[in-house]
Structure 1
Amino acid sequence: MNSRKNSEAPIPERKYIVNTQSCGEIHVFVQGDLTQQDKRAVFLTVHDLGSNHHSFDDFVHHPSMCEIRERSVFIHVDAPGHETNAPALAENFQYPSLQAFGEELVTVLDFLHVKYVIGFGDGAGANVLARFALENPTRLLGLILINCTGSAASVLDSFKNKYFSWSGKQQVGQSTEDFLIYHRYGHQLLADTSPDKENVIEEFREKLHGLLNPSNVKQYVSAFLSRKDLSLKHLKVDTLLLTGLLSPYANEVDKLFQEANKEKTTILKVERAGHVLNDTPAKIAQSLLLFCKGQGLLSSVAMPGIDRRMSRGMSMEEYDKPNIRRLSLTTSS
């Protein structure tokens, strides 16, 4: 996604290194003023395989996110060893499971003194945030999950896994690279009419080899393929599941929704899109805004084509301030 070229200057970000028990050092990047968290929507993001927090950074700087960006704080979490130009993790380092990674996110929030967040995850990161929500529902005001899968290993995953070559830790094996490309851009590989697929895939390859440590990338992929089943039946947090109808994981997302708590979960399938964060950022921004308004957040941001209305005498910051009492996550008897 190259939309940042047409948007405003990047928001300055502050980097933090959080020491955790099961994930080692987690690199966290904060955009926005955390001292204003009571007057802002605070998003906690976790990225997909073969990327890092810059995939969300690009989305945040898309023109359609302008007003949301001005009234929000974004906490971007990199998976262990996925910060740009990271060294290889120590040989004796036990890479965390998606469950362990999710459970350690509360350590990040405690370190930053953040009370509540909207979880915003993509792919493997969506799975991580869902596990965090199940363990720590009182720290979330909602969840937005892109291409979140529930089954431990779909038929497709198992098939692709046969072609993995885990030998050689210094570079991404061709079969691993093929899996990552299919994982993120499978719809474009299958679409003969996609004019940009070669450019998109080449750009992904350049980032994969130029910015990320390949041996660390392998370990996150391995954790994803070794994930345990995920169920949203007992989810206590309002959740929006997002997928593209062209995504190779669309059926898996739909299956997760069918077995989820329908009182808390909504699904949105975007037409003519595979990886919705890249393909339809404006649509995702609109869906994010509508979801947040339903949680009492970003009330002063107008939906496209709708006039902004605020009570006389109320400042924009006061209008945006979350109604935490209304958003109480305590379980009713």
Structure 2
Amino acid sequence: MEETKEIVKTDKFGDVTVFVAGDRKLRVFLTVHDIGQNHKSFHRFLLHEDMKAILSKFCIVQITVPGQEDEAETLPNDYKFPTMQEMGTEVIPQVLASLGCKTKDVVGLGVGAGANILCRYAMFSAYDVLGLCLLECSAESAGFLEWGQEKITSLQLNMKGMNPTSESYLIWHHYGNDLGKVTLQAKKDNPGEVRGFSDRLYSKFNHQNLARFVNCYMARTNFVDKLKTMKCRVLMVTGSRSAHVKDVERTYSAMDRQNSEILKLDGGDVMEDNPEKLAESMLFFLQGLGLVSSVRSKKMSRGTSLSGTDA
């Protein structure tokens, strides 16, 4: 996936880093990442064979939340970090307009905080968004326990840089299991994946900038009562070992059932643990929107080949 790095100057929030691949005359496939991640967290999944066929029909736009790039410089003390609402209603529309992309019939893929941001964008730009695939999405404000954990994480990131407490919280956030046992259990279940995630937290991320994004997510507002106003189709996805299953279920229960569906897959981080099933589900979801009708999944292609042999 050949991508170009673009720096978009926004009115209120300075430079926003965006990575673009594909013909800008095509519909936009938009990604927004979670806390402790940036656009690179999508790469392995987007390079999956089924996803490559899907994405050939789109212009891929991957937005990095300010300050979350690899080895980013520390944001100035007087920098006003955008709220979740401002990311959805101001940053995304300005980015897409600046890139000169086709902004009608946008399809979005977001994880965690990024999924929350995409929801806000879809409600603000109701007639521009055709469909969203939302992984581990909560439309609620942070509960007391989550707020406390995120507050500790943010404070320690600012005081100590990356540290075992913040690392454990972020691993729990992405890979699930009990918070007290998460680091050992997650490393046992997904040794290479979690080790790589931990290494990136320590070596690639600006910890002060990450603390600001964690604070932003911690301060998110509740929009559960507005979910039924969403006009686009939504595919909600959660993993069987995810820490956010209940949050996703509550968010889904508040949506218009005619425009939404929920998918539960094995794993904690479903893009890593179950990419083939997620890609196949996204293909069917997009085809239900009248898109990518010519694309067939690997499983469907094998079925065609076998039936042709039988004939």
**Is TM > 0.5 for Structure 1 vs Structure 2?**
yes
Greater percentage in helix: 2
Q: 2:141 aligns with which of 130, 152, 160?
A: 152
Q: Please say which of residues 257-266 and 219-228 is displaced more in the overlay.
A: 257-266
Q: Which runs of 5+ in 2 are unaligned?
A: 303-311
Superposed displacement of residue 307, structure 1: 6.0
Number of residue pairs the alignment of both structures matches: 293
Alignment check: 8 A CA contact 1:176 1:218 kept: no
Separation in 2, partners of 1:86, 1:193: 27
Q: 2:97 aligns with which of 98, 101, 110?
A: 110
Instruction: Calculate the TM-score normalised by the size of structure 2.
Output: 0.87
State the one-letter code of the partner of 1:128: I
Q: Which runs of 5+ in 1 are unaligned?
A: 1-10, 309-333
In the other structure, the counterpart of 1:99 is 85
In the other structure, the counterpart of 1:182 is 172
Question: How does 1:24-35 map onto structure 2 within 5 Å?
Answer: 24-35=14-25
Q: 1:205 aligns with which of 164, 175, 198?
A: 198
Q: 1:248 aligns with which of 243, 252, 255?
A: 243
Q: 1:60 aligns with which of 43, 46, 52?
A: 46
1:187-224: CA deviations, max 9, x gaps? 38559597443433321111112222111111111111
Structure 1 vs Structure 2 CA RMSD: 2.2
Are 1:292 and 2:286 matched, yes or no? Answer: yes
1:292-330: CA deviations, max 9, x gaps? 10111111102444469xxxxxxxxxxxxxxxxxxxxxx
Report the secondary structure of 1:137's partner residue.
coil
Alignment check: 8 A CA contact 1:123 1:147 kept: yes
Are 1:69 and 2:64 matched, yes or no? Answer: no
Separation in 1, partners of 2:279, 2:14: 33
User: What percent of counterpart residues are identical?
Assistant: 33
Alignment check: 8 A CA contact 2:187 2:195 kept: no
Superposed displacement of residue 153, structure 1: 1.0
Superposed displacement of residue 165, structure 1: 5.5
In the other structure, the counterpart of 1:226 is 219
In the other structure, the counterpart of 2:305 is none
In the other structure, the counterpart of 1:262 is 257
State the one-letter code of the partner of 1:139: D
Superposed displacement of residue 151, structure 1: 1.4
Superposed displacement of residue 154, structure 1: 2.6
Alignment check: 8 A CA contact 2:85 2:120 kept: yes
Report the secondary structure of 1:44's partner residue.
strand
Alignment check: 8 A CA contact 2:7 2:17 kept: yes
